[in-house]
């Protein structure tokens, strides 16, 4: 009798003949393909959807970039420069990562905006292969959309699958198809939401794939205690931080909520505790370089957002009711879109998530009542047995969707004058976002709290996926086969955007104006200023600054120009000097900044700027190259000796602070000569002093001492010779104040009598 050996593949209930040689390999590959074919279909589905919904980006991967809904290319140019800088550092072409080549002579300038190291790391192979930055940028853009859809698909598949393999093979296949459609629907609702196409010109805001990946790792780890799943969380969490600081900071809030709700029990298990400690160590070690770099810049330059800016960029209810302008359905077909910035969630997202939430509470109530829902809902009990999502995580996702919605309101709930509003003022103060702003590091640098709403979209998308699965179980097979695919189709139709607007971007130095060949031949440390600078902060002028920044990636010389999330105050002063001062003052400002070369686009200069430059030719500026109406000047630093040190303080004044009654403001007025400019930064000509407060009964020791450092930069001129700082105020009373300065020419002491009132009002009389 011929005995046939058998082997078990994955499923112990089924055996297969054991083959030898090549047929066995093919058989195993076919079996593996049978297990993953639905996932491969998802890969293809989201890939085609990405190409279609971003069209025509795929046709111009290495030549064009989309600004999204923005009228100018300001942010895309900045992101192209940031990506190129990361590639340059990864190739070992620069030593100091944080001291980028913009805003010279300031330091830590990469931290003035998102460093986006994760994006550089993801596209590093392209950089080493010699691909241009535009190709890497566009592949990242499309990859982020595809990855967001796939990560939510994977999250929902894991949460909803239960024992969907049970039952007959035909019934099991039907359940898997419903599970696939439900997961794919959730992936489309999140990965291709209106928000994505509204912010398509801001590359880092498209990196939404890491949040669901983090939750997938957490869910798997709670169930398995395995290192593999903990590492999935680490990749997602660190990926969010290193691609978009907004998302990393926001995600941390929801991760903390998840750990407090589900993770505390794992501390009682030895293996889970060890893996948790290791995971925490990996994330902390991974975040240390980013946090230290960003914090060093924030400490030096005080990179914090005023509350009024945060309030203006907080969501309000009206934003959620505005139809998006980038939608084919709402703008092109129905013509109901709004030109204003909106945070529209989507009709299908709201409807499906509401149905899913109702289903979760009904299933939970049926479980608490001691059984199924009887004959009225014959499939509900079976659904609950197979799928554990409503029993374990449903309420959490509902709560987090509401919490993210609340946080997106930011400072919008805080009235401009909350004094005297009693209990309402107290309730506003303890509102979640205000507490985050007051006590959690990093939130003072956040400008746009309304972006929290993408996390609300994430949680609602998961609830919507559950809704589709719940509907499929309640429908008869023949109706379900029609309705469920129609839901997915309707979601795609509602979210389908208008074709992306593209702008051609130079990809090599040969495509730039010819003058850049001359700049590339300059010494590597030659400092450059490109004129004209931005005028008045208009979008078009800021785009010019950002374009200059991108063009610097083809020569990498240090430039005074720049565009970022924060701009040094000294650069604004330089802009004013160029616009309104005499030619001699302009030359002094160039020397104060340490500028060696000036590139002018003569067609863009106004008459006054041209006249100043012509006056300085031969008197401090030497023309070294002229091509296509672009002129390159060299600043003659040898003709006149320049003293960069700060002069003495001529006078000082204390007055009430604009920040709060608990502070006082100190203004220092410097003795600046006519046509003279002096530059102070936290790294050169540092302004540092002690403020000593003596009580009315003057003794040998001061009552209160404030040590203050000017945490910004300033270009001092004859007409702008004051530096203002906020200090902690002493208790109300009358004091003799002595200011001891520790920068400039020696140590200078000045004094006066200052009276601090309870209301914050301050009077000051200097001593002669």
Give the separation between CA 532 and CA 518, rounded to whole angstroms: 19
Pick from 1-10, 11-20, 438-447, 564-573: least confident: 1-10
Write the DSSP assignment of 565-609 as a string of letters. Answer: SS--HHHHHHHHHHHHS-HHHHHHHHHHHT--EEEEETTT--HHH
Residue 365 has pLDDT above 80, yes or no: no
pLDDT top residue among 531 and 647: 531
Residue 565 has pLDDT above 50, yes or no: yes
Closest CA to 252 of 305, 206, 214: 214
* 676 within 8 A of 643, measured Cβ to Cβ: no
pLDDT in tens, 75-101: 999 999 999 999 999 999 998 999 999
pLDDT, mean of residues 442-452: 90
Tokens 């009542």 locate to 369
Closest CA to 565 of 111, 80, 242: 111
Tokens 């703008």 locate to 331
Closest CA to 547 of 17, 85, 81: 81
**So what's the pLDDT on residue 744?**
45
Residue 374 has pLDDT above 70, yes or no: no
End-to-end CA distance of the chain: 119
Cis-peptide into 56, omega within 30 deg: yes
**So what's the pLDDT on residue 421?**
52
Pick from 47-56, 324-333, 341-350, 529-538: least confident: 529-538
Which pairs with CB-CB distance under 8 Å and at least 24 residues apart come from 169-175? 174/477, 175/386
Please work out, in degrees rounded to the nearest 5, the angle formed at the alpha carbon of residue 492 by the alpha carbons of 490 and 496: 120
**So what's the pLDDT on residue 596?**
94
> What torsion do the CA atoms of 725, 727, 733, 736 make, to the nearest 10 degrees?
-70
- Provide the CATH number for the domain formed by 509-635 in this structure: 3.40.50
- What is the band of 377 on the pLDDT scale with cuts at 50, 70, 90? very low
Write the DSSP assignment of 641-674 as a string of letters. Answer: ----S---EEEEEEEE-SS-TTEEEEEEEE---T
- What is the band of 423 on the pLDDT scale with cuts at 50, 70, 90? low
- What is the band of 604 on the pLDDT scale with cuts at 50, 70, 90? confident
- What is the band of 429 on the pLDDT scale with cuts at 50, 70, 90? low
Domain ranges of the chain: 35-208, 209-302, 304-474, 509-635, 649-766
Residue 31 has pLDDT above 60, yes or no: no
11, 161, 385, 649 from 388: Cα distances, Å: 22, 9, 7, 71
**So what's the pLDDT on residue 588?**
92
Give the separation between CA 451 and CA 249, rounded to whole angstroms: 12
What DSSP designation does 747 have? Answer: -
Residue 760 has pLDDT above 90, yes or no: no
Give the separation between CA 190 and CA 352, rounded to whole angstroms: 13
- β 597-601/630-635 pair status: antiparallel
Polymer length in residues for the chain = 768
Give the separation between CA 406 and CA 431, rounded to whole angstroms: 9
Structure tokens at 30: 């076919």
**So what's the pLDDT on residue 233?**
97
114, 115, 123 from 141: Cα distances, Å: 16, 17, 11
Residue 648 has pLDDT above 90, yes or no: no
pLDDT, mean of residues 408-437: 70
pLDDT in tens, 116-131: 999 999 999 999 999 9
Sort 458 into a burial class: Cβ within 10 Å, 0-12 / 13-18 / 19+: buried
Mean of per-residue pLDDT scores for the chain: 85
Closest CA to 239 of 284, 282, 218, 209: 209
pLDDT, mean of residues 518-547: 87
- What is the band of 3 on the pLDDT scale with cuts at 50, 70, 90? very low
Residue 462 has pLDDT above 90, yes or no: yes
**So what's the pLDDT on residue 747?**
57
What CATH architecture is 649-766? Sandwich (2.60)
pLDDT in tens, 616-626: 988 889 999 99
- What is the band of 686 on the pLDDT scale with cuts at 50, 70, 90? confident
* 57 within 8 A of 46, measured Cβ to Cβ: no
- What is the band of 432 on the pLDDT scale with cuts at 50, 70, 90? confident
- What is the band of 701 on the pLDDT scale with cuts at 50, 70, 90? confident
Percent above pLDDT 90 for the chain: 52
pLDDT top residue among 495 and 482: 495
Tokens 């590339």 locate to 520
pLDDT in tens, 36-57: 889 999 999 999 999 999 999 9
Tokens 């945070």 locate to 343
Closest CA to 281 of 322, 331, 227, 359: 227
What Rg, from alpha-carbon coordinates, does the chain have?
31
Residue 293 has pLDDT above 60, yes or no: yes
pLDDT in tens, 181-208: 999 999 999 999 999 999 999 999 999 9
Closest CA to 199 of 329, 342, 323, 15: 342
Closest CA to 213 of 287, 260, 156, 272: 156
Q: Rounded to 5 degrees, what are φ and ψ at 502?
A: -115, 150
Q: Rounded to 5 degrees, what are φ and ψ at 578?
A: -65, -35
Q: Please name the helix (run of DSSP H) or strand (run of DSSP E) that holds residue 529, with its range, or none.
A: strand 528-531
């Amino acid at each position: 009798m011929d005995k046939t050996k058998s082997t078990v593949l994955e499923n112990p209930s089924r055996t297969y003949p054991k083959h030898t040689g090549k047929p066995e390999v093919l058989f195993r590959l076919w079996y593996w393909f049978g297990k993953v074919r639905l996932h491969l279909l998802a890969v293809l589905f989201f890939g085609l959807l990405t190409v279609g919904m971003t069209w025509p980006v795929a046709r111009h991967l290495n030549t064009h970039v989309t600004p999204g809904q923005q009228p100018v290319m300001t942010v895309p140019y900045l992101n192209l420069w940031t990506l190129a800088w990361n590639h340059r550092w990864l190739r070992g072409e620069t030593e100091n990562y944080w001291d980028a080549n913009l805003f010279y002579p300031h330091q830590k300038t990469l931290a003035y905006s998102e460093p986006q190291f994760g994006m550089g790391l993801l596209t590093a192979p392209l950089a080493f292969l010699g691909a241009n930055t535009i190709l890497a940028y566009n592949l990242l853009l499309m990859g982020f959309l595809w990855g967001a859809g796939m990560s939510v698909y994977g999250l929902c598949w894991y949460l909803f699958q239960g024992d969907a393999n049970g039952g007959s093979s035909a019934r099991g296949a039907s359940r898997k198809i419903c599970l696939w459609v439900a997961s794919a629907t959730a992936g489309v609702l999140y990965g291709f939401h209106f928000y994505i196409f509204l912010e398509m010109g801001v590359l880092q805001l498209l990196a939404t794939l890491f949040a669901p990946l983090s939750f997938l790792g957490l869910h798997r780890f709670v169930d398995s205690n395995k290192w593999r799943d903990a590492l999935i969380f680490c990749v997602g969490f660190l990926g969010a931080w290193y691609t978009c600081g907004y998302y990393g900071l926001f995600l941390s809030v929801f991760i903390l909520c998840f750990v407090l709700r589900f993770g505390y029990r794992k501390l009682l298990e030895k293996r889970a505790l060890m893996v948790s400690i290791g995971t925490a160590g990996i994330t902390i070690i991974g975040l240390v370089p980013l946090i230290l770099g960003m914090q060093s810049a924030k400490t030096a330059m005080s990179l914090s957002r005023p509350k009024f800016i945060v309030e203006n960029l907080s969501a309000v209810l009206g934003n959620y009711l505005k139809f998006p302008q980038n939608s084919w359905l709402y703008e092109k077909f129905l013509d109901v879109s709004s030109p204003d910035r909106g945070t529209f969630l989507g009709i299908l997202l709201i409807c499906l998530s509401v149905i899913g939430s109702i289903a979760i509470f009904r299933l939970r109530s049926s479980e608490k009542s001691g059984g199924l829902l009887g004959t009225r809902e014959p499939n509900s009990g079976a659904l609950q047995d197979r799928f554990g999502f409503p029993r374990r995580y449903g309420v959490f996702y509902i709560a987090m969707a509401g919490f993210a919605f609340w946080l997106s309101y930011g400072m919008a709930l805080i009235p401009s004058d909350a004094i005297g509003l009693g209990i309402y003022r107290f309730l506003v103060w303890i509102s979640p976002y205000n507490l985050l702003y007051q006590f959690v590091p990093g939130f003072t640098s956040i400008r746009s709290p309304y972006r929290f709403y993408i996390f609300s979209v994430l949680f609602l998308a998961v609830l919507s996926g559950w809704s589709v699965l719940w509907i499929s179980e309640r429908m008869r097979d023949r109706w379900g086969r029609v309705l469920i695919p129609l839901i997915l189709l309707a979601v795609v139709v509602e979210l389908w955007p208008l074709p992306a607007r593209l702008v051609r971007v130079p990809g090599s130095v040969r495509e730039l104006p010819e003058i850049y060949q001359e700049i590339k031949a300059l010494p590597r440390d030659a400092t450059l200023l490109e004129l004209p600078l931005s005028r008045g902060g208009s979008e078009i002028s800021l785009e010019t600054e950002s374009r200059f920044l991108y063009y610097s990636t083809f020569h990498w010389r240090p430039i005074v120009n720049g565009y970022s999330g924060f701009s040094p105050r000294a650069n604004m002063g330089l802009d004013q000097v160029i616009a309104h001062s005499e030619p001699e003052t302009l030359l002094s400002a160039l020397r104060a900044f340490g500028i060696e070369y000036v590139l002018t686009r003569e067609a863009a200069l106004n008459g006054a700027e041209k006249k100043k430059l012509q006056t300085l030719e031969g008197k401090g500026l030497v023309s070294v190259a002229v091509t296509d109406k672009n002129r390159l000047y060299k600043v003659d630093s040898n003709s006149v000796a320049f003293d960069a040190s700060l002069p003495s303080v001529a006078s000082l004044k204390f007055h009430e602070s604009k920040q709060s009654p608990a502070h006082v403001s100190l203004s220092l007025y410097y003795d600046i000569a006519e046509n003279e400019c002096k530059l102070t930064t936290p790294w050169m000509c540092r302004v540092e002093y002690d403020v000593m407060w003596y009580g009315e009964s003057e003794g040998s020791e001061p009552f209160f001492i404030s040590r203050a450092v000017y945490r910004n930069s300033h270009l001092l001129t004859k007409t702008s010779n004051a530096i203002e700082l906020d200090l902690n105020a002493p208790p109300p009373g009358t004091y003799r104040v002595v200011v001891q300065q520790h920068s400039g020419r020696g140590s200078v002491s000045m004094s006066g009598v200052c009276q601090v009132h309870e209301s914050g009002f301050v009077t000051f009389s200097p001593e002669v």
